[in-house]
Amino acid sequence: MRTYRTPVTLVLGREGRTLGVLVFGDSQPHLERVDVVAELAELYISGSHIYGHAAISSFGTSTVKAASIRGSRAYFLGPGSGGRLAPLPSAEPTVKGVKAREFGRWVNAWNSVMFLGELGRDVIIVGPTRAGELLHLNIGVSRPNTLRMLEGALSRLNAIAGRYGGDISVGCPCRLATMPVELMVLLDTKYVMVKLHINDLSERAHTRGVVILGEGGKVRYRADIHGEGDLANALDEAESALARQ
């Protein structure tokens, strides 16, 4: 976990072979290195332009915004992503624009998780959260099998929402080391929830996550999941139980 006093803008990219964070706060920009191997765009300043992979900015009392740097692959999952891993809007940040807080179409990244890199490979995951005047940044890695589980869960929950007329909500308590993503289909008084721990650098409990079918305050079905097969079977059972009610 890394912490910064706001207002602050952070540009993330590769510094050598590892992750670098270029910090634009009240003082001169400075570079921090993170001991995580990163296959991202190189991080540097050239003239007035800032180069890297993605940027996060936090100001006001609860604002967290994000964008990819033009030409980079970066995605986010959260309240504004439409129940999918959505591409971050691209930007060409300048030093002047960052200092003037000209963030334009940068997406709201509050309670979201960012995925930096090619989805078929190991990707850097970033969970920004706000607490008072502080921006907290949890940084981890998701392996390809973890991302397949996440995308599989999103696909199934979107299908359930379409069949039963529900809505999907997405959240991430990103300050937790495992970075658990919580996906939920809300169906009147019922819900189907999938919780997945997506930070492969963290020592998790013995389970990868959990699938729950609930109604009101009662749990109608619950299953711990350890891999892709468990996830598919648990969602089959949850939807069968939902159809019987």
Question: Does residue 63 register a pLDDT over 90?
Answer: no
- Average pLDDT of the chain is 90
State the residue for tokens 């998790």.
204
Q: How far apart are CA 123 and CA 143, in angstroms?
A: 7
Q: How far apart are CA 202 and CA 210, in angstroms?
A: 17
Question: Does residue 172 register a pLDDT over 90?
Answer: no
The last residue of a domain, from among 142, 161, 176? 142
Q: Which residues form the domain of 82?
A: 2-142
The model's confidence at residue 45, banded by pLDDT at 50, 70 and 90, is very high
Long-range CB pairs of 202-206, under 8 A, 24+ apart, other chains included: 202/140, 202/177, 202/178, 204/178
**Are 13 and 58 within one domain?**
yes
| Span 197-222, average pLDDT | 86
**Are 137 and 169 within one domain?**
no
**Are 58 and 92 within one domain?**
yes
> Helix, strand or coil for residue 237?
helix
Q: How far apart are CA 150 and CA 135, in angstroms?
A: 26
Convert the pLDDT of each residue in 88-121 to its tens digit: 999 999 999 998 888 888 999 888 999 999 998 9
Q: How far apart are CA 137 and CA 142, in angstroms?
A: 16
The last residue of a domain, from among 109, 142, 175? 142
Q: What's the pLDDT score for residue 76?
A: 95
Question: Does residue 207 register a pLDDT over 70?
Answer: no
Question: Does residue 245 register a pLDDT over 80?
Answer: no
**Are 173 and 124 within one domain?**
no
**Are 136 and 149 within one domain?**
no
Rg (CA), the chain: 19
Closest CA to 83 of 155, 191, 143, 144: 155
Q: How far apart are CA 147 and CA 83, in angstroms?
A: 14
The last residue of a domain, from among 142, 171, 200? 142
Q: How far apart are CA 180 and CA 199, in angstroms?
A: 8
**Are 234 and 136 within one domain?**
no
Q: How far apart are CA 212 and CA 87, in angstroms?
A: 28
**Are 18 and 131 within one domain?**
yes
**Are 129 and 200 within one domain?**
no
Our count of domains for the chain comes to: 2
The model's confidence at residue 205, banded by pLDDT at 50, 70 and 90, is low
**Are 205 and 182 within one domain?**
yes
Question: Does residue 38 register a pLDDT over 70?
Answer: yes
| % of the chain at pLDDT higher than 90 | 66
| Span 24-44, average pLDDT | 91
Q: What's the pLDDT score for residue 184?
A: 94
**Are 34 and 153 within one domain?**
no
Question: Does residue 203 register a pLDDT over 80?
Answer: no
Whole-structure pTM over 0.85, yes or no?
yes
Distance of alpha carbon 207 from the chain centroid: 20
**Are 184 and 235 within one domain?**
yes
Q: Give the residue, 27 or 164, on which the prediction is more confident.
A: 164
**Are 119 and 63 within one domain?**
yes
Q: How far apart are CA 148 and CA 156, in angstroms?
A: 12
CB-based contact 9:21 (threshold 8 Å) = no
